[in-house]
């Protein structure tokens, strides 16, 4: 296998992963895939992240539209929106584009656009239990989270907790290990990021439907 994130040789593996994600979304509404991100993509994103300067990150906000404000009690991470500014960002957006196409073919979701940001949690940072979308109020349909933390070990903290089951009373703890890909229905699964004991990196993204078509 080559190291080129755009390599067509990765497509076979991606196809299997995308089909598994579609299957699990259909049956349970979420899909957790440790180590599933193509290696060259994960490593490229990691080295891109370590090259970003502090001033390229900004404090993440909380709330919707006009209510958007910083809130230290809710989340402490710093974010940097992903655009097509570098080859590795293009490779990421091409990969999520292929995932979007595949999910639309499998599940007829009508996913229309995608937005994502890098997030950096410094020691002591967290993000309390929250939903990425509120019923009927958002065009965010699917959330994706990718963890980019080589050499993460238990004790480093920063686990992602996904609340499942009726009423969200069951907890699934996901270690933020390098290359883990988590996808879930944005409205249905509250989740939180536990306090991290080391610098912790992730990407959070949202597949959206066209709001003009949604009543
Ligand atoms: C988010 C989020 C989870 C993570 O940014 O909305 O839930 O594991 N991130 O970084
Ligand atoms: Mn979230």
Q: What is the pLDDT of residue 2?
A: 45
Ligand 2 mean position, distance from CA 141 (Å): 12
Q: What is the pLDDT of residue 214?
A: 52
Rounded Cα distance between 195 and 127, Å, is: 8
- Which residues sit with their C-beta closer than 6 Å to ligand 1? 119, 127, 132, 145, 160, 191, 193, 202, 204
44 within a domain of the structure (yes/no): yes
80 within a domain of the structure (yes/no): yes
pLDDT tier for residue 1 given thresholds of 50, 70 and 90: very low
Domain count, the chain: 1
Q: What is the pLDDT of residue 73?
A: 86
pTM assigned to the model? 0.91
**What's the number of CA atoms in the CB half-sphere (13 Å) around residue 103?**
31
State the Cα torsion 71-89-115-181 to the nearest 10°.
Answer: -80
128 within a domain of the structure (yes/no): yes
30 within a domain of the structure (yes/no): yes
Give per-residue pLDDT as tens, 34-46: 999 999 999 999 9
CATH of the domain at 118: 2.60.120.620
Rounded Cα distance between 4 and 90, Å, is: 12
- Determine what percent of the chain is predicted with pLDDT higher than 70: 90
Given the CA of residue 202, which atom of ligand 1 is nearest to it? 10
3 within a domain of the structure (yes/no): no
2 within a domain of the structure (yes/no): no
* Average pLDDT of the segment spanning 37-62: 93
Give per-residue pLDDT as tens, 107-162: 999 999 999 999 999 999 999 999 999 877 778 999 999 999 999 999 999 999 99
Closest residue by Cα to atom 9, ligand 1, is 204
Domain that holds residue 193: 8-61+70-208
Rounded Cα distance between 121 and 113, Å, is: 26
215 within a domain of the structure (yes/no): no
Q: What is the pLDDT of residue 60?
A: 80
Given the CA of residue 160, which atom of ligand 1 is nearest to it? 8
120 within a domain of the structure (yes/no): yes
């Amino acid at each position: 296998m080559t190291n080129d994130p755009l390599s067509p040789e990765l497509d076979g593996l991606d196809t299997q992963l995308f089909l598994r994600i579609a299957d699990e979304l259909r049956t349970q509404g979420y899909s957790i895939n440790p180590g599933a991100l193509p290696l060259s993509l994960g490593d490229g994103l990691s080295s891109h992240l370590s090259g970003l300067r502090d001033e390229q990150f900004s404090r993440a906000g909380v709330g919707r539209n006009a209510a958007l404000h910083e809130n230290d009690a809710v989340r402490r991470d710093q974010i940097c929106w992903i655009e097509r500014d570098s080859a590795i960002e293009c490779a990421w957006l091409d990969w999520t584009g292929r995932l979007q196409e595949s999910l639309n073919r499998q599940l007829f979701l009508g996913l229309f656009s995608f937005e994502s940001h890098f997030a950096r949690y410094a020691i002591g940072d967290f993000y309390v239990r929250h939903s990425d979308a509120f019923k009927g109020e958002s065009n965010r349909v699917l959330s994706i989270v990718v963890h980019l933390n080589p050499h993460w070990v238990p004790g480093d903290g920063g686990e992602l907790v996904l609340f499942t089951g009726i009423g969200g009373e069951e907890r699934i703890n996901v270690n933020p290990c390098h290359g883990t890909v988590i996808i879930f229905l944005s409205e249905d699964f509250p989740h939180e990021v536990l306090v991290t004991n080391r610098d912790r990196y992730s990407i959070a993204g949202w597949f959206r439907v066209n709001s003009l078509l949604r009543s």
